């Protein structure tokens, strides 16, 4: 089972990727994790990526694809994988397809977690994080017992800059311009499946499993 998770920032694709990976016993592959591992291990690819990152530059698509492809060649991916956070653009998707063809394989499904923008803004702007222990809450769905105070360590809860409404709207704008065209890309390849991301977490997982099969 070779899968890609699609969805806007805050749609919950990371959460679903972890759950699906556990159900099918395949690795959950996040590009952020791959980059950190390569940089930590000082691999040739990691050192190349670090050069760009240290200069505040975006890592070129070609290098990103090389790092992802290198990860997909590892033994634990022989029965499948689930990609989270990649590809982000059409050129990345095209390069990924070429890399997979060279490995004599292909993507089975691109799973789109569909959530309206207004839901995402409400969901993310309601988040609160503890300055001390990092625990997270939501003012509507998972509020602390005492307002702005962490249940676990009594640390102060804050609204992170990334979760502020204006930041969320900017991220959504970038997503719609750069990443949402991937929905059409995978639809044309007959690999796209869309699930309702406004349901509760377990129901979303159930919908995905029903599509993929047990």
Which member of 2, 13, 19, 123 is catalytic? 13
- The answer to whether residue 171 is catalytic is yes
Which member of 18, 48, 50, 171 is catalytic? 171
- The answer to whether residue 132 is catalytic is no
d(CA 17, CA 84): 7
- The answer to whether residue 13 is catalytic is yes
173 burial type by CB count under 10 A (0-12 exposed, 13-18 middle, 19+ buried)? exposed
Which member of 18, 50, 88, 122 is catalytic? 88
Which member of 160, 177, 189, 206 is catalytic? 160
- The answer to whether residue 2 is catalytic is no
Which member of 2, 19, 127, 128 is catalytic? 127
190 burial type by CB count under 10 A (0-12 exposed, 13-18 middle, 19+ buried)? exposed
- The answer to whether residue 88 is catalytic is yes
Residues noted as catalytic = 13, 88, 127, 160, 171
């Amino acid at each position: 089972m070779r899968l890609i998770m699609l969805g806007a920032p805050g749609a919950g694709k990371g959460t679903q990727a972890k759950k699906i990976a556990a159900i099918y016993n395949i690795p959950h592959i996040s590009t952020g994790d791959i980059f950190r591992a390569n940089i930590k291990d000082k691999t040739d690819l990691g050192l190349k990526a670090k050069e760009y990152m240290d200069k505040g530059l975006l890592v070129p698509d070609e290098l990103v694809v090389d790092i992802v492809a290198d990860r997909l060649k590892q033994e634990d991916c022989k029965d499948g994988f689930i990609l989270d956070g990649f590809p982000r653009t059409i050129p990345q998707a095209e390069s990924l397809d070429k890399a997979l063809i060279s490995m004599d394989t292909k993507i089975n499904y691109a799973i789109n977690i569909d959530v309206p923008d207004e839901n995402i803004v409400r969901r993310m702007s309601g988040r609160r994080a503890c300055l001390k222990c990092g625990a997270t809450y939501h003012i509507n769905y998972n509020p602390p017992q005492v307002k702005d105070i962490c249940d676990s360590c009594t640390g102060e809860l804050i609204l992170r800059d990334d979760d502020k409404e204006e930041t969320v709207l900017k991220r959504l704008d970038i997503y719609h311009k750069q990443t949402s065209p991937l929905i059409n890309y995978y639809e044309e390849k007959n690999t796209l499946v869309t699930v309702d991301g406004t349901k509760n977490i377990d129901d979303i997982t159930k919908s995905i499993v029903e599509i993929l099969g047990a």
